[in-house]
């Protein structure tokens, strides 16, 4: 032990002070050397501490540290609901001709061949789409308001059912509830729209009957009385064929697009109007909140979809994280009153030097996220 200490002292250049005397004197000298070494060690530590303290004071890190603190206080919204698959509805119409009282679909009758070919051209891409899947097809049958109201309702229903059978067979669709059937019967609302959009001289007289009564038989009787039936015959010729139709509402559910697709990322920057809101969120999720890339994606999303509050809130948060207060203010204005903005409005107030206003926003944010609100209030203290 003594030897190791002496070797250490020799390293400090102190071994030369050792006197050549008796062992007792050597012991005293050795003790004195221990004291010198201890004193020097303490002084050296104090000097180093003084240098470290002096160095931390002279380096101007206040602004960097402040922005780092703000960054830890900012909150971002995870758009869980917006990431759900998107359901879109495509409306298609098929004007099918039937012999009087008949319900079977005959491709050779009337204009059916052309009409069914047009329907197939519109429906096939939806059924074969690689970007989504068919969720539901709703068929609604409509009849023109001629003849008997009750009979027309039954006719519309039976024709819609037969049209469903035709679609299942023609497109090899399963009979598992994918296709649902409904019917309206006489389409008086459709007739009213057609007459309003026409230039017929009798329009005002017919439309006044629509306002007087909702009863279909009464309407039909009064219209037939106009000009001894001439008006009704012209309506029958001009409009009834456009009311007898099958209306299809095709619901498709989009699949998640791979965010690693370079074409999608390129679209975000070069063709943002062709990028869905969901894809914006998926691309943004590739980057850590607070990074410049995250900010860029959300700013483009906010300008492309100005009514989306999630995009506006995250764009504001991202701007704050970069110290851009003015951009943050702009995006906050788009979501005025949204309680999810309170925490970050508090951070903005703190960056402005208004601690009182910041504390008020943090307290208002307590119901949204008590833990974060309390942590940020503690920062103020």
**How high is the pLDDT of residue 69?**
80
Which residue in this structure is represented by tokens 């860029």?
296
For 267-326, the pLDDT digits (tens) are 888 888 888 888 888 888 888 998 999 999 999 999 999 999 999 999 999 999 999 999
% of the chain exceeding 70 in pLDDT: 78
Sign of CA dihedral 223, 228, 232, 235: negative
At 139, phi and psi to the nearest 5?
-105, 130
Q: Which residue has the higher pLDDT, 337 or 228?
A: 228
Quickly count: other Cβ atoms within 10 Å of residue 113's Cβ. 12
Residue 373 CB partners (closer than 8 Å, separation 6+) = 343, 362, 363, 365, 366
pLDDT of residue 303: 94
Q: What confidence tier does 117 reach under pLDDT thresholds 50, 70, 90?
A: very high
Residue 270's pLDDT is 87
- pLDDT number for residue 61: 41
**Nearest 5°: phi and psi at 83?**
-85, -5
Please report the sign of the dihedral spanned by the C-alpha atoms of residue 72, residue 75, residue 81, residue 84. negative
pLDDT at 88 (0 to 100): 76
Query: Residue 4: which pLDDT band, with cuts at 50, 70 and 90?
Result: very low
What pLDDT is stored for residue 261 in this prediction?
65
Report the share of the chain in percent with pLDDT over 90. 49
Partnered with residue 44 across adjacent β-strands are: none
Smallest CA-to-CA distance from 318 within 338, 299, 342, 345 is with 299
Q: How many other C-beta atoms can be found within 10 angstroms of the C-beta atom of residue 242?
A: 15
| Residue 371, pLDDT score | 86
Hey, what are 199's tokens? 């230039």
Most confident segment among 101-110, 225-234, 275-284: 225-234
Structure-token pair, residue 23: 């062992």
Q: Which has more confidence, 375 or 22? A: 375
Taking each helix axis from N to C end, the angle separating 230-238 and 216-225, rounded to the nearest 10 degrees, works out to 120
The CA distance from 356 to 361, in Å, is 9
Q: The whole model's pTM is what?
A: 0.48
65 pLDDT tier (thresholds 50, 70, 90): low
In the chain the beta strands, taken as DSSP E runs, fall at 87-94, 132-143, 179-186, 245-254
Kindly state the tokens that stand for 240: 């009834």
Closest CA to 189 of 139, 137, 239: 239
Tell me the pLDDT tens digit for each residue of 25-49: 333 333 444 444 444 444 454 554 4
């Amino acid at each position: 032990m003594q030897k190791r200490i002496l070797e250490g002292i020799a390293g400090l250049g102190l071994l030369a002070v050792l006197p050549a005397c008796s062992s007792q004197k050597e012991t005293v000298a050795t003790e004195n050397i221990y004291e010198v070494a201890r004193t020097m060690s303490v002084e050296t530590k104090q000097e180093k501490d003084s240098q470290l303290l002096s160095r931390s004071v002279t380096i101007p890190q206040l602004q960097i540290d402040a922005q780092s603190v703000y960054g830890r206080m900012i909150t971002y919204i995870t758009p869980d609901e917006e990431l759900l698959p998107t359901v879109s509805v495509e409306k298609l119409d098929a004007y099918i001709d039937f012999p009087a009282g008949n319900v079977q679909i005959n491709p050779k009758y009337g204009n059916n061949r052309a009409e069914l070919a047009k329907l197939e051209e519109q429906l096939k891409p939806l059924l074969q789409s690689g970007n989504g899947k068919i969720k539901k097809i709703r068929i609604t049958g409509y009849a023109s308001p001629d003849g008997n109201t009750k009979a027309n309702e039954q006719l519309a229903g039976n024709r819609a059912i037969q049209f469903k059978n035709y679609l299942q067979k023609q497109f090899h669709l399963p009979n598992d509830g994918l296709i649902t059937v409904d019917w309206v019967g006489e389409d008086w609302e459709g007739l009213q729209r057609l007459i309003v959009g026409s230039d017929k001289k009798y329009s005002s007289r017919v439309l006044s009957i629509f306002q007087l009564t909702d009863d279909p038989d009464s309407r039909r009787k009064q219209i037939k009385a106009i000009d001894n039936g001439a008006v009704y015959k012209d309506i029958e010729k001009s409009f009834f064929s456009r009311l007898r139709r099958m209306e299809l509402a095709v619901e498709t559910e989009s699949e998640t697009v791979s965010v690693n697709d370079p074409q999608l990322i390129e679209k975000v920057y070069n063709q943002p109007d062709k990028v869905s809101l969901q894809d914006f969120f998926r691309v943004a999720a590739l980057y850590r909140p607070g990074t410049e890339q995250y900010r860029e994606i959300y700013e483009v999303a906010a300008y492309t979809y100005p009514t989306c509050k999630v995009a506006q809130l995250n764009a504001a948060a991202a701007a704050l994280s970069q110290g851009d207060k003015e951009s943050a203010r702009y995006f906050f204005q788009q979501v005025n009153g949204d309680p999810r903005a309170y925490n970050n409005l508090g951070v903005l107030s703190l960056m402005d030097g208004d601690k009182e206003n910041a504390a008020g926003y943090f307290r208002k944010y307590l119901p949204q996220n008590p833990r974060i609100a309390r942590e940020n209030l503690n920062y103020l203290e």
